[in-house]
Amino acid sequence: MKERDAYIQKMEAEQREATARFQEIEAQADLAQSEDELDILSGAKERSEDFQREVQAMRNADQQDWQRMKSAVEKARTRVGDHLDRAGERWEQLRAVYRREREAELRQLGAQMDQWEASRDRTAAEDSLLTRQELDFMKRGLQSTRALLMHLGSSRGDAWKQAREEYEASWRDLRERSRRIRADSTSDADIASPS
């Protein structure tokens, strides 16, 4: 195999790797909250496409253009790598922010559940809407949602997107059950209190 063929194969492999990195980042594009963040992704995509074109042009170049094309491919490879690094760092930051926000929500709901448990302990069991089984059920839901959040923190690409959907579905279910319990306890308190 000639040096030229080996080099072209190496660049094609690097181009496939860059495409895979871009697709992993793109799978998480729904985290973008501003045009600047989407511009980072667009820039990475454009550089990836430039790199692909340069590799293809190098494959088709004759021997005289070989050194010029090799230099152009190296520049394109460096540009795409830089853009993918920046995009990857930004999406890592966005994932961390998303996770911190979800952790805060879980802590808040956990504190609310602790308050419910304290309230239930103060109230006689027959007067309390929150039975021990309901409270245990809610706590298991909270633990399950926390476990999904931990899984979300270690996921990437399409797996991250799936983990996020599972987490958000669990979170919505947990919030809905908590809202219903609060609504039921408020209406029961209104009925029980003399006016």
The pLDDT tens digits for 74-92 are: 888 888 888 888 888 888 8
Token pair for 33: 């909250």
- pLDDT-based confidence at 31, cuts 50/70/90? low
3-state secondary structure of 180: helix
pLDDT of amino acid 34: 65
Residue 23 has pLDDT above 50, yes or no: yes
- Most distant CA pair in the chain, distance: 96
User: Residue 175 and residue 183: Cα distance in Å, rounded?
Assistant: 12
pLDDT of amino acid 193: 38
Q: Which of 52, 47, 53 is nearest to 81 (CA)?
A: 47
pLDDT of amino acid 195: 37
Q: Residues with Cβ < 8 Å from 105, sequence gap 6 or more?
A: 171
